[in-house]
Amino acid sequence: MAASGAVAGWGLPQGRGGRIVVGPDLRVQGQDRIFAAGDIAVNPDDPTPQLAQPAIQMGRHAAAQIVRLQRELATEPFAYHDKGILATIGRRSAVVQLAGRLRWLRLRGTLAWLAWFALHLVYLLGGRNRVSTLVNLAFRYVAWGHGGSVIVGDEPGDPRRQPGPAGSAVGQPCDGP
Residues 6+ apart with CB under 8 A from 43: 21, 22, 23, 24, 26, 78
Mean pLDDT of 128-132: 79
Residues 6+ apart with CB under 8 A from 83: 53, 99
Least-confidence region, from 83-92, 115-124, 167-176: 167-176
Tell me which range, 60-69, 75-84, 114-123, is most confidently predicted by mean pLDDT. Answer: 60-69
> Which letter does DSSP use for residue 13 in this model?
-
Mean pLDDT of 9-24: 90
Least-confidence region, from 19-28, 41-50, 144-153: 144-153
Q: Is pLDDT at 172 greater than 80 in this prediction?
A: no
Q: Is pLDDT at 76 greater than 80 in this prediction?
A: yes
Mean pLDDT of 116-136: 78
Coil, strand, or helix at residue 99?
A: coil
Would you state the pLDDT for residue 166? 56
Do residues 86 and 119 touch, judged by C-beta distance below 8 A? yes
Q: How far apart are CA 13 and CA 7, in angstroms?
A: 10
Would you state the pLDDT for residue 42? 93
Element (H, E) at 109: strand 106-109
CA 15: distance to chain centroid?
Answer: 21
Mean pLDDT of 62-83: 95
Q: How far apart are CA 131 and CA 115, in angstroms?
A: 17
Please report how many Cα atoms fall inside a 13 Å half-sphere around the Cα of residue 172, on the Cβ side.
Answer: 16
Geometric angle at alpha carbon 121, from 78 and 89, rounded to 5°: 80
Q: Is pLDDT at 95 greater than 70 in this prediction?
A: yes
* Mean pLDDT, rounded, of the chain: 81
Q: How far apart are CA 139 and CA 160, in angstroms?
A: 33
Q: Is pLDDT at 6 greater than 80 in this prediction?
A: yes
CA-wise closest residue to 60 among 84, 83, 76: 76
Mean pLDDT of 92-113: 83
Do residues 16 and 42 touch, judged by C-beta distance below 8 A? yes
Model pTM? 0.65
Would you state the pLDDT for residue 153? 58
